[in-house]
Amino acid sequence: MVPDADFLVKPVKTSRRGFLSFLSVATGIVGSIVVAIPVVGFFLAPVFKKPPGTWQVVGAVQDFEVGKIVEVEIEDSSTVPWTGVTAKTGAWLHRKSDSEFVAFTLNCSHLGCPVRWEAGAQLFMCPCHGGVYYIDGVVAAGPPPRPLQQYPARVRNGKVQVRSSPIPISS
């Protein structure tokens, strides 16, 4: 029999002290993991939960003038019931033609500040770092890396609907 195979026939000598140390550390680790799984899962769940977007009526078609851009309000559908007024969000709704509507998010694609529609200038302007967008959402000047994001918009039964979505995050 080769010496290396001794462990096959001889029991491994484990001292009482060594076993108790192992037992204490092992139960500590296992216990921590058992506690950590639900805690971390609870904390991280919103990160991976797909937000449920909903179509929301923002007005009748005739309420909006062709060529004009106005702010409309929608409700975040992924929020919790006790959020209050913070659950509201806005969108810039552009009626491009009789039947075509485009809804832009309020959030500047630079760092998320609320852009304003300046009707006289026909530009969206950001108060934080001076980002500017044309009427079609394309970047006109300043630091924004990409155009204004859009919410899905449609007309159903004479009503204009905008679909709520998560806050757009530029990456």
Partner 1 sequence: MKFVKMALDWFNDRTGLIDMLDPMVKHPVPPDTGWMYVFGSAVLISFVLQIITGIFLATMYVPSSSEAYQSLEFITNSATLGSFLRGMHYWGASAMILFLGVHMIRVFLTGSYKFPREMSWLSGVVLLFLTVGMGFTGQTLRWDQNAIWSIIVGAEQAGRVPFIGQWVARLVLAGGTLSSVTLSRFFVLHVFVLSGLIIATLSFHLYLVLRNGISEPPVPGRRVKIPEYRDFYKRLLEKRGVPFWPHAAWRDAVFGFVVLAGIMLLAWLVGPPVIGKPPNPTIIQAEPRPDWYLLWYFAVLALLPHGAEKWVIVFGPLVVIVVLLLLPFVFPGGERNARRRPWAVAIVLTIVVSVAVLWRAGITAHWSPDFNAEALPKEVIGVTSGPVYLGSQLFANKGCIYCHAIAGRGGHRGPDLTTVGDRLTEQQMIIRVTNGGYNMPGFGSILSSTELKQVVAFLQSRQAPE
Binding site for partner 1 (CB under 8 A): 44, 46-49, 51, 71, 73, 76, 78-80, 82-90, 106-107, 110-116, 118, 120-123, 125, 127-130, 132, 134, 140-143, 145, 165-167, 169-171
| Contact present, 99 and 90 (Cβ < 8 Å) | no
- Which token pair is 64? 């909006």
Please report where in the chains the tokens 């509201």 appear, as a residue.
88
Site of tokens 């060529």: 67
The residue count for the chain: 171
Closer of 58 and 95 to partner 1 (Cβ): 58
Least distance to partner 1, CB of residue 140, Å = 3
Strand order of the sheet with strand 123-125? 116-118, 123-125, 132-133, 139-141
CB of 133 to partner 1, least distance (A): 8
Question: Which residue in this structure is represented by tokens 């204490």?
Answer: 24
Residue 86 CA: distances (Å) to CA of 5, 82, 91: 70, 10, 14
**Least Cβ distance, residue 3 to partner 1 (angstroms):** 46
CB of 48 to partner 1, least distance (A): 8
- Which residue number, 102 or 140, has a Cβ lying nearer to partner 1? 140
Residue (11 or 84) nearer to partner 1, CB: 84
